[in-house]
Amino acid sequence: MVIQKLKALSLSWAAWMVLTSPALATPAHPLDPLSWDEHWDVLTILADEGKLTDDTRFSRVTFAPPEKRRVWSWRKGQSLPRKAIAFMREGPTTIEATLDLKARRITDWVERTDVQPIWLEGEYGSDIVDKVKEDPRYAEALEKRGIEYPMFVDCSPGPRGFLGEAELADIRFGVVSCGYPVGARNSMARRIEGFTVIVDMHSKEILEFRDDEIVNIHDTIADYDLGSLGPLREFDAPIKVEQPKGHGFTLDGNMVKWDNWRFHVRPDHRLGIIVSTVTWNDEDRERPVMYEGHLSEMFVPYMAPQRAWRDKNFIDAGEYSTGGIADPLEPGLHCPETAVFMDEIVADDTGRPKDRRRAVCLFEAYSGDINWLHKHEGRPKRELIARTSARLGNYDYIIDFRFQTDGQIKVAAGSTGIVQAMATTEKNATEPSDSDTPADRYGRFVDDHIIGVNHSHYFSFRFDLDVDGPENSFEMTKLKQVILPEDNSRRSLWVTEPVIAKREENAKLRKNLNTPAVWRFINPDKKNAHGYSTSFQIAGGMTARTLLSEDDYPRRRAGFIDHDFWVTPYKADELYAAGLYPTESKPGKGLPEWTAENRPIENTDIVAWYTMGMHHVVRAEDWPVMPIVWHDVMLRPFDFFDENPAMTSGLKP
């Protein structure tokens, strides 16, 4: 039996030495991610319990945090339970295994056949592609398009947005996409358009093969690498950032201290970066601000009705985070040369740990901006940025948590990369279309025979704010017009009207310029020197109100976009706005399902969910690589202090 287990894991002698090593020492902080040894502990515990076979595959291995109250009360050197969760697959069965790493035992084992976990790395290179290429319809499709060298065609299956088809329900299926990269480095300009192949990833069957539109491969080149472009223009006077006395922050493991801020930061397989236990040191008093903040989910639906495009409605973080969502950060590109980097350990398909270098960076920034100013007195703006980058197919996303000296936290999402491109028979917008529908009906020409397809971006963030403690309420301070008496020379003004949300239904909100309001998490039991409840405001930037109909399946699967803002009572397992398993998910998962109970949210531990985004009408300037576009939401102290915390004189005693 032992030999079979070791064989299933395909362990090398070096790995065996790791497996027989003593138990791991207590981590430096209860929210530290799993170490290399702890990843191996997960595997050996499962092996000792007889839970691994040759078919076992791992979607994700992560640590299970201790209870929130115990984390807040934890002090350095104290020991807390150390648990891990392994998300596994055995054929069509999805398994969630919880393990006690100190006791070396499995504490919970759940098997499910009603969900689909994220795709494995190996599935993208599945041997189903060989079966597709052997199908005579494939050769016929290439011949119709005048492809001279079929041996150079690249194909790969990928997860597909479920549209509710009865024949595909409960099947792990993928759609095979192909490109013809001959003579081009940027294969996004060489998509083979018009045919659709849907496959069953378990049975390796071809479920659907359709060839609806014949578009020949054109010789358009859209390469963007420096080797193709040559030297880019530069300034004769470079800007150089130096910190001759070192960083202005200190890093103790994953704990960061900067200015009055204290927080824990860690890379995360699915979410990229998580910022936790955020406090402000107020005259040597650590005041809680936020227990946890992170990206929760992304949704990117494309706006083309063709058979090969209608399934392109991606729930990115939950569907495409296989192998870890974070892309390695490059010094001098993603982050300045002065940055400090954090590595990540992720599990591969077999569960074995592998290093992901430079998954998170920390750096200080000064851009010449102003923090506060009056006449000739003021303070320049300096901030600390915790950053990660996620490359999800064609797009690259930058996620920032920017801590500021005035007590604000700006959370920003930047979109860059390559827009999804559709090949067309028409060369540009001046050529008449062969059909009644203009070629650029669903996008805009960005190159010869290339259309950048219209789409939307939604970023859902989860903020577990604990303003001066976990018991908070959500207050909408509405701005209400008041008509003044006839004897007043002014005719109108506005006043504030605070409303406390009692239940979840009262806090499902959309930004509306016609009904302005200030959204705040308040602590009813804590007052500032002026008698107001201490609070933090959630001040959102651009939102993208959905234009999808209520009965459109992609919208129903990503129901969190129905509102810009939600408030829920804290639950440790409610982390992802579209649910734990969004791959091929049914409608209503995540926030719509949880809030259907309409739970009470007054003076209790509550969580804010904010969705920001944009509708992207593609410009010529977005090709071949899109300049970065930023969106942000501010977490602002609102009566949390007695005066401006960025004043150099400090707070009043």
For residue range 466-502, what is the model confidence (pLDDT) as tens digits? 999 999 999 999 999 999 999 999 999 999 999 999 9
* pLDDT at position 186: 87
Q: State the average pLDDT over residues 493-515.
A: 94
pLDDT over 90, % of the chain:
81
Rounded-to-integer distance, Cα 124 and Cα 181, Å? 18
- Say if residue 131 is exposed, middle or buried (CB neighbours under 10 Å; 0-12, 13-18, 19+): middle
Residue from 210, 623, 629, 328 nearest 459 by CA: 629
Rounded to whole angstroms, the Cα distance separating 270 from 450 reads: 32
Q: For residue 153, give both structure tokens.
A: 């065609």
Whether pLDDT at 582 is above 50: yes
Burial 229-257 (b: 16+ CB within 10 A, else e): eeeeeeeeeeeeeeeeeeeebeeeebbbe
The pair of three-digit structure tokens given for residue 426, joined into one six-digit string: 């028409």
pLDDT in tens, 255-298: 999 999 999 999 999 999 999 999 999 988 999 999 999 999 99
pLDDT higher than threshold 70 for residue 446:
yes
End-to-end Cα spacing for the chain: 69
Among 309, 138, 306, smallest CA distance to 212 is for: 306
What pairs with residue 387 in β-bridges?
361, 400
Number of other CB atoms surrounding residue 629 within 10 Å: 14
For the residues 145-151, what does the mean pLDDT come to?
94
pLDDT in tens, 35-78: 999 999 999 999 999 999 999 999 999 999 999 999 999 999 89
Averaged pLDDT for residues 565-593: 97
- Locus of tokens 């107001």: 532
**In this model, does residue 230 exceed pLDDT 90?**
no
- In the numeric block, which tokens belong to residue 290? 């936020």
Tokens 């430079």 correspond to what residue? 358
The identity of residue 354, as a single letter, is K
Q: Which residues are catalytic?
A: 316, 395
Mean pLDDT score of the chain: 92
Which pLDDT value is given to residue 41?
98
Alpha helices in 50-118 (DSSP H): 68-73
- Average pLDDT of 195-219? 92
Contacts (Cβ under 8 Å, ≥6 apart) of 552? none
Residue 110's DSSP bridge partners are: 96
CB 648 within 8 A of CB 435: no
Task: Give the residue-averaged pLDDT of 427-438.
Answer: 87
The more confident residue out of 475 and 225 is 475
pTM given for the model:
0.94
Q: What is the Cα–Cα distance from 130 to 178, expressed in whole angstroms?
A: 13
Of the listed ranges 154-168, 430-444, 523-537, the one predicted with least confidence: 430-444
Average pLDDT over residues 504-528: 94
Task: Give the Cβ contact number of residue 638 at 10 Å.
Answer: 24
Q: Which amino acid, one-letter code, is at 8?
A: A
295-318: per-residue pLDDT in tens? 999 999 999 999 889 989 999 999
Peptide linkage before 516 cis (omega within 30 of 0): no
Sheet strands (E) in 160-284: 173-179, 195-200, 206-211, 249-252, 255-258, 261-268, 272-282
18-50 residues labelled b (16+ CB within 10 A) or e (exposed): bbeeeebeebebbbbbbbebbbbbbbbbbbeee
Tell me: the pLDDT tens digits for 96-147?
Answer: 999 999 999 999 999 999 999 999 999 998 899 999 999 999 999 999 999 9
